[in-house]
Copies of this chain bind each other. A is one copy, B any other.
Amino acid sequence: MLEKVYPPFIFNEFDRKNKFGLFMDVEKVIYSGVTKFQRIDIFETKAFGKVFTLDGVPMTCELDEFVYHEMISHVPLFLHENPKKVLVIGGGDGGTVREVLKHPSIEKVIMCELDEEVVEATKKYLPNLSYELNNPKVHLVFEDGSKFIKNFNNEFDVIIIDSTDPTEGGGGALYTESFYQDCFKALTENGVFTAQTEEPFIEKEWMIRAYKRISSVFNVAKLYLGFVPEYTPGTWSWTFASKNIDPIKDFNPEKVRNFDKELKYYNEEMHVASFALPNFVKKMIKDI
């Protein structure tokens, strides 16, 4: 899948298909391995620090991992009055769990990741991301999240879908309407949900499709955006959804101001600002 062009540069199939991409100079290959599901590589780069790739596609990197992980976690968490039980689907690098556990009310986080070897590699090579995966509040499950979710009914205060990109064609089980319905069912009445939903400039069809499917299942569904350099073209979207919580009307900025953990990206203004959408994005998701 990943061609042997590194060093010096990372290229991948996604880049070739879209005929553009980010290149990064690989200074050192830290780890390479092939699992039952995919190829894992961890590179050292100058501009992005350590970069973790699956099948050659950057999943996370030291330069900006905090943006993605803070935005997928704190946006829903600050919208729940007293989040105790969280389900993370995907999220093998541990960055999302690390952010979730900054909230002192959390009692239990189940992280359901398909590929156990991803967790092994990140525990070993990316400790700044994965260090909370050994926290006793965290329960790791290695199976297909789209099957695992079917076990629950009215169970979780927060569900976070921290998945890889949809694949060509079907897009994968974590992007289907029936999966989102299972998430709805697994969520408590005041529960909150967030999924990563791709980007609006190039591969916009997947963003629109994911948003549309989530909207058709949940009473409230709102797209929000952030700056993530490692995910070309540098703009990323997530979709917040719930049964009755509105991400703006029900947001209490005071809670964020009084938060005593250090955050590098998220703050009370960014919470609100990230739900403001450029006209071309509004149009894209209105026309569906």
Binding site for B on A (CB under 8 A): 15, 18-25, 45-48, 63-64, 66-67, 201-202, 225, 227-229, 232-235, 263-267, 269-270, 272-274, 276-280, 282
Contacts and interface: CB of A to CB of B under 8 A. Distances in A.
A287 to B, nearest CB: 14
Contacts of A265: 278-280
A3 B245 CA distance: 54
A74 to B, nearest CB: 11
Contacts of A64: 201, 233
Sorted nearest first, the 8 A-B pairs with minimum C-beta distance are: A234-B234, A229-B233, A273-B276, A19-B25, A273-B273, A269-B276, A20-B47, A19-B46
B18 A21 contact: no
Contacts of A228: 234
11 contacts: A19-B24, A20-B24, A20-B45, A21-B22, A23-B23, A225-B227, A229-B232, A264-B278, A265-B280, A267-B276, A269-B276
A274 B277 CA distance: 10
Given A23-B20, A47-B18, A278 B67 contact: yes
A232 B233 CA distance: 8
A280 B270 CA distance: 12
Nearest to A202: B47
A241 B273 CA distance: 21
A264 B279 contact: yes
Contacts of A20: 22-25, 45-48
A108 B270 CA distance: 37
B19 A22 contact: no
Contact of A279 (B225, B233, B263, B272): B263
A83 to B, nearest CB: 21
Residue of A18, A235, A265 with highest tally of chain B CB at under 10 A = A235
B24 A23 contact: no
Nearest to A229: B233
